[in-house]
Amino acid sequence: MQFPVTRMRRLRRTEAMRSLTRETFLQPSQFISPLFICPGEGVRKPISSMPGVFNLSVDEALKEAAECASLGIGGLLLFGLPESKDLEGSGAYADDGIVQRALRALKADSALQSLVMIADTCLCEYTSHGHCGPLTGEGNDCTVDNDATLPLLAKTAVSQARAGADIIAPSDMMDGRVSAIRDALDEAGFAETPIMSYAAKFASAFYGPFREAADSTPQMGDRRGYQMAGGNVREAMREIELDVAEGADMLLAKPAGPYLDVIRATRERFDLPLGAYQVSGEYSMLHAAFERGWLEKERAMMESLLAIRRAGADFIVTYFAKEASQRLR
């Protein structure tokens, strides 16, 4: 039927009517809050490019986790800043590594049982050169040795699972990493531990602030040799299909906002639980506009998250997790 019989505004008349007919919802259990764990005690170091985000010692991370749990947030994604680094990133798979210590402390607190503990499984924060595995080549011509990286990622995953990680989340973009991690977890007795693959991770300019937070800036070259080119949606579908075939239980797309079409294409093609990472640059860009009064903070924050959910993400990794959850209470 056409106007005037059909009037689309009838269902927009009041807040109650709009709520009743809303198609896409946000709730705190859909959010995952990233935490950057660093050595020391009583450390809560602000990250200059990410207002409201901190490097946290384990004791401070426990306080942050308690606040997240009280807000009904779904989980935490843990990144580590080790005391020392080396060429192979051995701190990533050390049983007394910084993330492993944090996981044990978090899992020991019964008040945090509602939070899913997710371990980012990568070597870039632990290597002295800032890349995601051992290098071959020199200077700006260097690249990560894919096959030499796989056993190190597998060791890292087992170490994280042993420390209490509920989900293993490889973010390195090495070929064959999901299969290598699945085999290692199964052999070590962690057949029930799921893998959330960063299956479509693009080489993005929006990661800049994260590299300050995680101290993971490459010292030479860049990551374009293993992270995806921004123009390739069909290639992203191939990446995801391969990870699913290798045993991925969940999928994660990164970044979120600039790649909503990839999220939608993934949702339409695959049935696995799908998340999206609203990355540091998205967060910092919005905060810069908030600070200048160019955008209304609450509305822009919630709209950015709603767009990611509407595109098809079941859950969102976001630095807005606490603020958005408070808004939804």
What amino acid occupies position 175? Answer: D
Asked if residues 118 and 169 have their Cβ atoms less than 8 Å apart, the reply is: yes
Annotated active-site residue 85? The verdict is: no
Residue 47 vs residues 5, 35, 43, 53, 258: alpha-carbon distances, Å: 56, 12, 12, 6, 23
Asked if residues 115 and 66 have their Cβ atoms less than 8 Å apart, the reply is: no
User: Residue 315 and residue 317: Cα distance in Å, rounded?
Assistant: 7
The residue annotated as part of the active site, out of 45, 63, 85, 254, is: 254
What amino acid occupies position 53? Answer: V
Asked if residues 31 and 315 have their Cβ atoms less than 8 Å apart, the reply is: yes
Annotated active-site residue 63? The verdict is: no
Residue 321 half-sphere exposure toward CB, CA atoms < 13 A: 33
The residue annotated as part of the active site, out of 85, 155, 201, 322, is: 201
Catalytic positions, please? 201, 254
